[in-house]
Each structure stands twice: as structure tokens, then as C-alpha cells.
Amino acid sequence: MKKNKGETEKLTEAILEGIQNLKGKDITLIDLESIHHTECGAFIICHGTSSTHADSIAHSVEETVKKTTGEDVWHRDGYRNAIWILLDYGDVMVHVFQKEAREFYNLEGLWADAKRKKIEEAV
């Protein structure tokens, strides 16, 4: 079920807040709306400095989104090893990596045709 623009913006803000609360690194928003045949409207990608950090960031996102929007994650994967944690919110997919895995899988490069926005990290 597709959300309206306001709902998606509120969800995106809550996701970014959850990442920033735990000092997620190199936060990037990839807008997939202009790309045809995509499963969602946006990717939010960041990384942590360790498996513990990546796990904590992902949990922070889930908690912040639930508190702010009341929405639960549709699907989650990757918590077991915390190398690449995926949180699927339908219109927005969150990818929390460890740095080495992020560089290896290079999602930003795979979606190079999409608009990209760097998000300021919390200080």
C-alpha cells in the first residue's frame, strides 16, 4: 500500500532521526521515484563502526519510527551478523551496513541513475 507524500516524509524524518540518534555514518538518501520498476520510493543508507553499532542503529530506527509514526517495520533481516541490516518500511528501505560491507556491495553505485542526497550527521 503506497503512502501519501506527507506520510512518507514523516517516515523518512523518523528514520533519519533514529540513525542520527546513534551517530550513523555517511547517511545517504537515494530517491528512487524517477527510476522505473522499483519496489520502493527511497533507500536510506548508512553504516556503523562495528556489528554492535550497526545493530544499535537499526534498533534505534525501529524504536524511533514506532514512537513517532506508530508504524512497525514490515520486514527486517540481517540482525544475526549485523553486517548488512535491512529494514523494509514499504515505500522506504533502510540499509545499515558495516563500512566494509557497504563499500563491497556499493548500493550507491548500483543506483547511480537516481537522485542522491547526503544527510548531515548529528554532532
Distance (Å, whole) CA 11 – CA 5: 10
Q: What is the pLDDT of residue 38?
A: 67
How does residue 120 score in pLDDT terms, banded at 50, 70 and 90?
Answer: confident
Is residue 66 assigned to a domain? yes
Q: What is the pLDDT of residues 27-77, one digit of tens each?
A: 999 988 877 666 788 999 999 999 999 999 999 999 999 999 999 999 999
Domains in the chain, number:
1
72 Cβ contact list (under 8 Å, min separation 6) = 62, 66
Domain containing residue 100: CATH number: 3.30.460.10
Strands 25-31 and 42-48, sheet pairing: antiparallel
Is residue 117 assigned to a domain? no
Task: Compute the mean pLDDT over every residue in the chain, rounded to the nearest whole number.
Answer: 91
Residue 117 pLDDT more than 90? no
Residue 112 pLDDT more than 90? no
Cell numbers for 31, please give them: 530517491
Distance (Å, whole) CA 5 – CA 3: 7
Answer left, alpha or beta for residue 56, where phi above 0 means left and psi between -120 and 50 means alpha: alpha
DSSP helix/strand/coil, 17: helix
Is residue 57 assigned to a domain? yes
pTM over 0.85: yes
